[in-house]
Chain A
């Protein structure tokens, strides 16, 4: 049930993402990308958190996917911090681009995490 809720919420953020206004280069645009990345991260982190609790159940493939999901999460955090710095310097174009990039990394993280859940759910 928890996984289902996570998926629904994750879907909601994808929907929000697809409805973002196109204001590339503006402060509003950068803030929108920032919010999207933050919100999505909360959900992906909760999926990874669940995986941490259940563990990989000794399944090597699931273990690798969980590691992959975490790696992308770290990359997302890294570039998110960079974007924060750019926001501080009011370089909204770069900040927006990097928040977007962080979100892309979170999508990759979600893909790996969901495949891990699929493997564990089916074994």
Chain B
């Protein structure tokens, strides 16, 4: 316990400090000022053992009821297969967006036909068809216009199965899941180009091309390959489209994160790799484990890809179709000069392009440096064909010394870098559990002020990614960073051997960083997060019209409407047009025969905000969430005779419990 005497503060001193902090926060200027507030605050602070730093942090993060957060974070939900929406600075969890995993509250994959179709659209393309019901979400990417977040769409990858999902930020719902052809793991995704023409992802674990063609591990160098994937995005349709999508075959080096160029480097893509040793593991066979085998060389390769030229190559018909997708073969990529390598510190993780598009920051997990290349130098080296050699596949390797601008020793195990609005970079440092702040070079900082380590702050513990407010765009905001920590060890109440992750909010407004808040994340391991100014988002308050189908983002021609509820039998098919309104379903009785195929078109005809209704049928594993105006479809076979209540699963009104009905399933005679 920290004692107040440590700070040399008596009661008066403490009261003065609290008063000062309140004054700066504007509280004392507010009309709601209460006499004696400082005294009360002092007592509370003392009773709770809060330090002055704690109080300052509380004042900077507390958002009173009814007030809004300045920023929203979109965090990958890790193993939960979902996306978390979190307010900053309050760190309040606002929503969990169902993406790759059935989610009962939102009725996602839990009975609505639309969500079942959506989930199954990302199924494996080979073998027995079964819906993949989990995802390993890693890197969310907000859509961009001119390198700025535009608040329209969010993309997220599923590393486990190489899928990309599209979320529409008008209703914060998943609209599309795409199984990437030829690929089975895509840790490095999703990343968008500055105008969201393409969503980029890179393979991780190399496989035969395509992955479902078998080749023994002994043929690793010959048959196994990586891919850099370019999903074409149609903003009007709000969907990834096949036409214009393509892939580039790359060596089996275990490609990792990518970052598209911006401003001067727009049109180029930069991707890391971390197994240029082409280690194949095999502890049981007496071979080094991957962790040793894949870290033997002192350098791996940054992949530098000329995306604009690659698009032309595809248009010229020089790609080949693999699983129906245009793939630029590796030899073509080399011959057409669209792929180059730059030596980078071994076992890298992050590659991050600075706001000006010129500086490219690399961090090697087993290094102590961040290394900064410049796009200018890379272009010059390519123009002069100034290579140190070629890799075994013929890819030109640029000379490290020709392209490196600076190297900065920031600590043990640097991973990822974000930027602020004052020319500083913030890098997560895994092994020593810190965040390092350092200065960029010209035009941000000149002379001795350039490339300096400014500050380090301990975090708790084992930081992975870091996010700062709009910190990977062309105009970062500064203000806040969040350290996304893998371990929490001793930060929270113990809840069994599976510990929560720990998001730590940092104040970066001053020269020195300050820790403001710890937020436990107990539903998965979030990897990357993006933080957008809240006023850039314009979500719907209710769906635009009654009968709106979120799957098609248009009015459903089959939607049930008020006054037109009905039940129609056609053979053994029973169709029900049902409405939901506080506090009743209409119809309330559905009578079918055992074995009938039942289809319920159900519409929430409410227009009031937050008047959501659920629709659950006991025993049939069905639960829908119907937001105001939403129409959805339930389709099932009435294979269980008996009487089954259906009811609203949202506490929608005082007579919520009465919002119910019966499904009567008469046994076959």
In the complex, what residue of chain A is closest to B299 when comparing beta carbons? A22
A81 touches B (CB below 8 Å): no
Do A18 and B489 have beta carbons less than 8 Å apart? no
Provide the residues of chain A in CB contact with B346, threshold 8 Å. Answer: 18
In the bound complex, CA of A110 to CA of B489 (Å): 16
- Interface majority SS (helix, strand, loop, mixed), chain A: helix
Within 8 A of A (CB), among B434-465: 458, 460-462
Provide the residues of chain A in CB contact with B458, threshold 8 Å. Answer: 118, 121-122
Provide the residues of chain B in CB contact with A114, threshold 8 Å. Answer: 412, 431-433
In the complex, what residue of chain A is closest to B286 when comparing beta carbons? A94
Do A100 and B462 have beta carbons less than 8 Å apart? no
Do A10 and B412 have beta carbons less than 8 Å apart? yes
A38 touches B (CB below 8 Å): no
Within 8 A of B (CB), among A39-73: 59-61, 65
Do A19 and B368 have beta carbons less than 8 Å apart? no
Do B489 and A14 have beta carbons less than 8 Å apart? no
Do A110 and B412 have beta carbons less than 8 Å apart? yes
Do A118 and B433 have beta carbons less than 8 Å apart? yes
Interface size in chain B (residues, C-beta < 8 A): 34
In the complex, what residue of chain B is closest to A114 when comparing beta carbons? B432
Checking B293, B409, B413, B461 against A97 with a beta-carbon cut-off of 8 angstroms, the contacting residue is B293
Provide the residues of chain A in CB contact with B286, threshold 8 Å. Answer: 94
Distance from B406 Cβ to chain A, minimum over Cβ atoms (Å) = 15
What size tier do the contact residues of chain A reach?
20 to 34
Checking A97, A111, A115 against B288 with a beta-carbon cut-off of 8 angstroms, the contacting residue is A97
Provide the residues of chain B in CB contact with A31, threshold 8 Å. Answer: none
In the bound complex, CA of A21 to CA of B346 (Å): 12
In the complex, what residue of chain B is closest to A19 when comparing beta carbons? B298
List of 7 A-B pairs having minimum Cβ-Cβ separation, nearest first = A61-B490, A97-B288, A101-B292, A18-B367, A14-B368, A22-B297, A100-B292
Provide the residues of chain A in CB contact with B432, threshold 8 Å. Answer: 7, 111, 114
Provide the residues of chain A in CB contact with B367, threshold 8 Å. Answer: 14-15, 18
Checking B289, B292, B293, B412 against A11 with a beta-carbon cut-off of 8 angstroms, the contacting residue is B412
Checking B291, B298, B413 against A22 with a beta-carbon cut-off of 8 angstroms, the contacting residue is B298
Do B288 and A101 have beta carbons less than 8 Å apart? yes
In the complex, what residue of chain A is closest to B367 when comparing beta carbons? A18
Provide the residues of chain A in CB contact with B471, threshold 8 Å. Answer: none
9 extra interchain contacts, Cβ-Cβ under 8 A, other than A18-B298, A115-B489?
A14-B367, A18-B366, A22-B296, A24-B297, A61-B490, A98-B288, A100-B292, A111-B462, A122-B458
Provide the residues of chain A in CB contact with B431, threshold 8 Å. Answer: 107, 110-111, 114
Distance from B470 Cβ to chain A, minimum over Cβ atoms (Å) = 30
Provide the residues of chain A in CB contact with B345, threshold 8 Å. Answer: 18
Provide the residues of chain B in CB contact with A94, threshold 8 Å. Answer: 286, 288
25 pairs, CB–CB < 8 Å, chain A vs chain B:
A7-B412, A11-B412, A15-B367, A18-B345, A18-B366, A18-B367, A18-B369, A21-B298, A22-B299, A61-B489, A96-B296, A97-B292, A97-B296, A98-B288, A100-B296, A111-B413, A111-B430, A111-B462, A115-B433, A115-B461, A115-B489, A118-B460, A119-B490, A121-B458, A122-B458
Provide the residues of chain B in CB contact with A111, threshold 8 Å. Answer: 413, 430-433, 462
Provide the residues of chain B in CB contact with A110, threshold 8 Å. Answer: 412, 431
B364 touches A (CB below 8 Å): yes
Q: Which of B289, B291, B368, B487 has the most CB of A within 10 A?
A: B368
Checking B295, B299, B411 against A100 with a beta-carbon cut-off of 8 angstroms, the contacting residue is B295
Would you give the 0/1 interface string for A90-123, flagging 1 where the beta carbon is closer than 8 Å to chain B? 0000101110110010010011001100110110
Provide the residues of chain B in CB contact with A87, threshold 8 Å. Answer: none
Provide the residues of chain A in CB contact with B462, threshold 8 Å. Answer: 111, 115
B277 touches A (CB below 8 Å): yes
